[in-house]
A and B are shown apart, each in its own frame.
Chain A
Amino acid sequence: MARDIKKVGVLGAGTMGSGIAALLAKAGVEVVLLDKFEGFADKAVDRMVKAKVTDAFNAGFMTADHAKFIKTGTTDNNLQDLADCDWIIETILVPDPKIRQDLYKEVQKIAKPDAIFSSNTSMDTTGEMTVDQDDDFKSRFANTHFFNPPPTMALLEIIRGEKTDPDVVKALEDFGDKVLGKKVVECKDERGFIANRIGMFFLERVLKEMENSDFGIEDADAILSQAFGFPLGPFRLGDEVGLDVVDHVRSDFHESLPEGDHFQEIFTGNDDLRQMLKDGYVGNRKADSKGGYYRKKTEDGKPVKDERGKTIIQARNLETGDYADSQKSDFYKFDKQIKKYRGFDKFFDSGDPASEFAWPILRDSLIYVLDHAEELAFDVQAVDDAMRAGYNWNYGPFELLDKFGVEWFTNKLEEEGIAAPALLEKANGQPFYQELDALDGVGKDLMVRHFDGSFLPIRREEGVLSLEDIKRKSEPLLTHNSASLWDIGDGVACLEFTSKENTIDPSVLYVMNESIKLISESDGEYKGMVIYNDGVRFSVGANLALVEVFMHAAEGNWGEIIPGKLDQKWENRIKKYANMFGIDKAADNALKPLVHELVYQGQSVYTALQQAPFPVVGAPKGQAPKSAQTVNLAVGGGCEVLLNCDAVVSGPDQVMALPEIAIGVLPAWTGSTRYLQRSFNREGQFKGPMAPVKEAAATLGNPALGAATSAQDAKKKMWLRPDDTIVMNPDRVLAEAKAKVLEMAPDYKPEPLPTFRLGGSGSANMIRQDVERMYEAAKDNPSPNNVNHVDIRSADRLARVLTGGDTLKPEDVDHHVASNQQQIKDLASQSPSGHLKVNPTIEFNYSRMMQLERDGFMTGFFDKQYTWPRVHYTVAKGGYLREPIPENPPTAKEMRDTVERLEMPRRDVTGQPLSGDDAKKLKAMADMTGEFYKQNGLRGKPGDLQPLRTLNSIRRVMKLI
């Protein structure tokens, strides 16, 4: 019997219950959230709506719109509301299982006779949870175990009981995967299921090792994190999960796991943790907590800050229970330090203090996994899936073991006189994951070892399309340094970026341009294209670092181009060489045409993407971040790609923004215009030349507010169209995007290029006034978040673009005006000033907007005094330079009037892919980019360039322009 889940009841509005409700609401599912206590559910919803996305306590993942999907109440008064729920999840923590059993019985009286029941606990097995119930109930019951916080943690463990109806399991799996977007892993009905059982052993093993170690918790956290693919060190993780939860799980394991379980041997007792909880150290997830293993330093209840204004953090001494100012560990950024060992095996064999500490912990944890995998999971892949999705490990334990080297690990155990677990013996020194001849005879498949020692291909959920699998089995249709085009079947091609962080460079533009031609000329063999990648970021935009090389060359900053490599002698020598061949001068001369060419190329290729005679579907994966460093960004040039797609299929947690203004330029790869177009087209938008402009200026002028923090938010802020698709499961984005191409392909016609009627300087003046007012207020209240004198210049340039520019010259009419050209040309030539003031009677074409974008960008980029320090800062530090307002602040007018405005040569942007000389230039620049990277053994990171070769590359690019 197929089961449809439309409405869900959640019992208990604690951390997990309210989090699950938020997840359901975010997915657009109706929820009834009931708690035992009056007002508790309301408070939980309110808290989540108000919380900021970055708020560790509440992980605000819900907008007020989402909250409308949640109906709240109490189990005493509102049980009736569960009457039409298809699935009822219980999330209560009770000391006595009977309370839970009684509640189930109460709810059954009201619930639909075929309603599915589940519990979120991992503390009782499914069998234990239903002892008192009849067989009918047992057939509709399973455990559904979410991880905290449910809206962002990817794992959902599902555990069936002996009597559970397979249709019920199927319904939960489908719903969890497709509607909630979770990685669903079915576990065996054992204590703790997979993820907590393994994860908690690891944490406990760390505690055990700390007893014999001189290391502080900062050292343990530094060593045992990114270097081994763990997102956080163990103590930070404990604080994040919540120490009450940690206490609950580990003490339960201690009470329930059998005597011989290795966990019992390493258990360090309840005393320390219970004392912490008693003293109010509950971790970071409770608002009234004093902290956890780490805390904020306070005086009289107020946080104490260091000289840079950052709150001082203190770390707990495990032995004494005292807190002291946290020290930067010797092992800080250990993921970098460990590289010097050239391999995990050599690191562990080194006998260094870090390895002495890490080895027994990782060894015993892996042994525990090898010993218990078959007891907990249905296969090896499930164990790795669970740890990646549930604990955010970059590698599952078996993958980690492969990285250590199975043979080395086996030998090491033998050396230490430790008996090899049976599963390890079956591996016989060979990796658990191997690329083997595909079962269908085509290329290779990635396969994984099963418990019996045999290999089977990696399991993909039904309907999931994996680019990784396709790449393993085929050759790209097109490829160049930074991008490739793949055939993903059924006549759909997939454009993949492959540069570092998927930055956009001439190589990407080249592949994009060639892809458009290839598909257009394929005689219908290819029906359309998806733009997708499996990277952490969809794309962080234009490769600023690449441009910066030329900036440094122009500035003669050779020491900056080759950081850390040049002593003074070398730097002087290079300067001499550069001077001898005129490179620095050439760089300075060539920089303007070079940057202009690059801007024009981006505009042309992006526009051609939208104008192509086939559908292009952008597919940012939007996977939930595992840390601040792994937020999936589609920003700058990456965002502009999506703005030019005919449709977008996005994963749920995609971040989108055009932050160009923060470095003193503006979105000029069509972004300013495309966003303005969306603002004009927004449903309910006011008529007139200014209302849409105000919205666009607010978003593009204030990237922090304009950025979309999720796909839902992106719809609200117009980065996505109202009818773009949000797919909750990131693994399904590619398949959905492909389906979208096929849906759009028949009779496809590209949307024509937009035209604009804009208010000119009268409208721009309003924006200038707004910004000036903010600047005046900021003079009294200086803060990095407030407008400063440099922003006045950037805003002025943006205002000019969004309002159509100041004037229209007669000679520009043919290039820039969409209708009544002759009359307008006459009016302009007859005007005493020789031009027309821009106003809404003139209908501008798309090329006009591109011209304004290029002029504005170039004006900004070559505002060297202010913009270049910003660019250098961003490339070096990743953030944005915020200049303090000077002692004697200049007036806004002074800042505006001193900009040297550039007008670039007129060039039309037609919507056709680049051809002829333009295409040759693009190819040459792409080759040069590729060479740039290759010479230095790096993909997309020109920070570490070989001096002389770099100079030569620069020379060759210069010649080209």
Chain B
Amino acid sequence: MSTKKEATNYSVIVGYCRTAFAKTSMAGSGKAPGVFGDVDPVDMQVPLVNELLDRSGVDPKDVKKILTGAVHQEYTQGLNIARLIAMHKDCKLENSTGGTTLDRFCGSSMEAIAMADGFIARNPNHVYICTGVQSMSQVPMGGINPHLADGVMEGNAAAFMDMPTTAENLRKMYNISSEEMSSFAAESHRRLKAAQENGHFKNEIVSLKGLDLDDGGRFDTTTESLESLRAKKPGAFAAATSSQITDGASAVMVTSEAFAADNNLPVLARIISFGESGLAPEIMGLGPVEAAKDALQKAGLSMDDMDVIELNEAFAAQSLAVLKEWDKQGMGIDPAKVNVDGGAISMGHPLGASGARIVGHVAEVLQRENKRYGLATMCIGGGQGVAMIVENPNAAPKPGM
């Protein structure tokens, strides 16, 4: 290892990749599973970890720990799956890399990156690999053996409220029309198609079982076609305007800026701040509103500074409600900046994997478009929100700055 530079306060993302997101049917639904239906969640992640090691050339000994976000840690996602990655016969990591699995529902793998950021503040010479994974084919939403304690049942049992109902609540609160939802969803599919055609996922997707692009895109989708689909199932419940049930995994390599410089690692983005919010479970979809404000405040930036935004598309109604609320609070943003390459409605939302995907993808887009600041934010079932702001240190400064 070369001579050490003084560490800055920033952690940096030095690698990001993911599997394609493969659409599937929920475990227990009895419907046919998708391409990754038979893939163990640990098998989805090992190729990603190896890819990050190969790309960066980081010595496996320097990887202190894997932090894995996975929602419902049971069955194939059980037994501290983060540690199991290192135990896998094909994994290039050794016994010396530890593993922690964490669950913050949809925010899990963004939380993993935030945790790594915290560790790095203390341990700038370590590398962390933050992964997220979800086999919705194998572990149903709500888990296999759910339990609701009497005290919560009599307290706020809405924490266990199902997600479509929360989206429906927002649809009513914000008077969101069916057409708005359809048009939002159609745009998601259109952008995914364009991004795939332009090869925008070449860097990030690692081929698995021959799948090298997200397979949930319905490219003949139009607002009108969705409207006719939705006629059968109105409200926010409709599958056509909700994120898709998918299997997939994502991974981000994080270290200190100093370690990256010492080892000539390519910096995709600096992690500037992490914001969080808590709110009533019935309207959990608004989680990003306050979480983003929290993150912006900590970063000393404003929404106008954001060049690229990933707002996880849990539901069309939910995303639209967030945009409307920001607007109302004077934080309105140009929809063209939001989810430039499509989102969960078109590419899917494998719960545990989405957080690392949107952070990693913001970094990708900042690089690609030579832009400076990006925001990744998402709502979390039970009534929470998380947001992360990253900066492309190599971007040309904004005019006037």
Contacts and interface: CB of A to CB of B under 8 A. Distances in A.
Contact of A686 (B75, B162, B168): B75
B148 A773 contact: no
Contacts of A762: 147-150
Q: Does more than half of chain A's interface fall in helix, strand or loop, or is it mixed?
A: helix
B144 A769 contact: no
Interface residues of B, number: 20
Interface stretch (A226-234, A273-281, A688-696): A688-696
Interface string A857-900: 00000000000000000000000000000000000000000000
A751 interface: no
Interface stretch (B103-111, B153-161, B326-334, B377-385): B153-161
Interface in B322-346: none
A686 B144 contact: yes
Contact of B145 (A688, A777, A780): A688
A769 B165 contact: no
A776 B165 contact: yes
Contact of B146 (A766, A773, A776, A777): A766
Nearest to A777: B165
A768 to B, nearest CB: 7
Contacts of A690: 144-147
A720 to B, nearest CB: 17
Given A688-B145, A765-B148, A780 B235 contact: yes
A484 interface: no
A773 B147 contact: no
Contacts of A777: 165, 168, 237
Contacts of A686: 75, 144-145
A297 B235 CA distance: 31
A143 interface: no
Contact of A761 (B28, B150, B165, B168): B150
Nearest to A64: B32
Contacts of A773: 161-162, 165
B162 to A, nearest CB: 5
Chain A: interface residue count, which band? Answer: 10 to 19
B333 to A, nearest CB: 32
Given A765-B157, A769-B157, A780-B235, A688 B144 contact: yes
Nearest to A693: B145
B235 A769 contact: no
B153 A765 contact: yes
Contacts of B162: 773
Interface in B155-176: 157, 160-162, 165, 168
A686 B145 CA distance: 9
B148 A766 contact: yes
A773 B168 CA distance: 12
Contact of A768 (B153, B161, B168, B237): B153
Interface string A670-708: 000000000000000010111100100000000000000
A207 B25 CA distance: 54
A763 interface: yes
Chain A CB count within 10 A is highest, among B148, B152, B161, for B148
Contacts of A763: 146-147
A761 B153 CA distance: 10
A781 B168 CA distance: 13
Given A777-B165, A780-B235, A769 B75 contact: no
A694 B168 CA distance: 25
Nearest to B153: A765
B145 A769 contact: no
A689 B149 CA distance: 14
Contacts of A768: 153
B155 to A, nearest CB: 11
B400 to A, nearest CB: 50
B19 to A, nearest CB: 25
A766 B160 CA distance: 8
Interface in B89-107: none
Contact of B160 (A691, A694, A769, A780): A769
Contacts of B142: 766
A704 to B, nearest CB: 16
A951 B152 CA distance: 52
Contacts of B152: 765
B145 A689 contact: yes
B378 to A, nearest CB: 22
A144 B153 CA distance: 64
B160 to A, nearest CB: 5
A849 to B, nearest CB: 19
A769 B162 CA distance: 9
B150 to A, nearest CB: 5
A694 B150 CA distance: 18
Contacts of B145: 686, 688-691, 759
Contacts of B144: 686, 688, 690-691
Contacts of B153: 761, 765, 768-769
Contacts of B165: 773, 776-777
A765 B161 contact: no
Given A688-B144, A777-B165, A765 B150 contact: yes
B29 to A, nearest CB: 11
Contacts of B168: 777
B382 to A, nearest CB: 13
B160 A759 contact: no
Contacts of A769: 148, 153, 157, 160-161
B232 to A, nearest CB: 12
B383 to A, nearest CB: 15
Contacts of A776: 165
A777 B144 CA distance: 24
Nearest to B161: A773
A691 B148 CA distance: 14
A762 B147 CA distance: 5
B206 to A, nearest CB: 30
Interface string A491-503: 0000000000000
Interface in A67-96: none
A838 to B, nearest CB: 11
A690 B162 CA distance: 18
Interface string B54-90: 0000000000000000000001000000000000000
A781 B150 CA distance: 29
Nearest to A776: B165
A694 B28 CA distance: 10
A691 B28 CA distance: 10
Contacts of B147: 690, 759, 762-763, 765-766
A765 B159 CA distance: 13
Nearest to B160: A769
Contacts of A759: 145, 147
Interface string A454-480: 000000000000000000000000000
Contacts of A688: 144-145
A763 B142 CA distance: 12
14 contacts: A689-B145, A690-B147, A691-B145, A694-B28, A759-B145, A765-B150, A765-B152, A766-B147, A766-B160, A769-B148, A769-B157, A776-B165, A777-B168, A781-B235
The 7 closest A-B pairs by CB, nearest first: A688-B145, A765-B148, A690-B145, A762-B147, A765-B153, A686-B144, A766-B146
Interface of B: 28, 75, 142, 144-150, 152-153, 157, 160-162, 165, 168, 235, 237
Interface of A: 686, 688-691, 694, 759, 761-763, 765-766, 768-769, 773, 776-777, 780-781
Given A690-B146, A765-B147, A777-B168, 15 more contacts: A686-B75, A686-B144, A688-B144, A690-B145, A691-B144, A694-B28, A762-B147, A765-B149, A765-B153, A766-B160, A768-B153, A769-B148, A769-B153, A769-B160, A780-B235
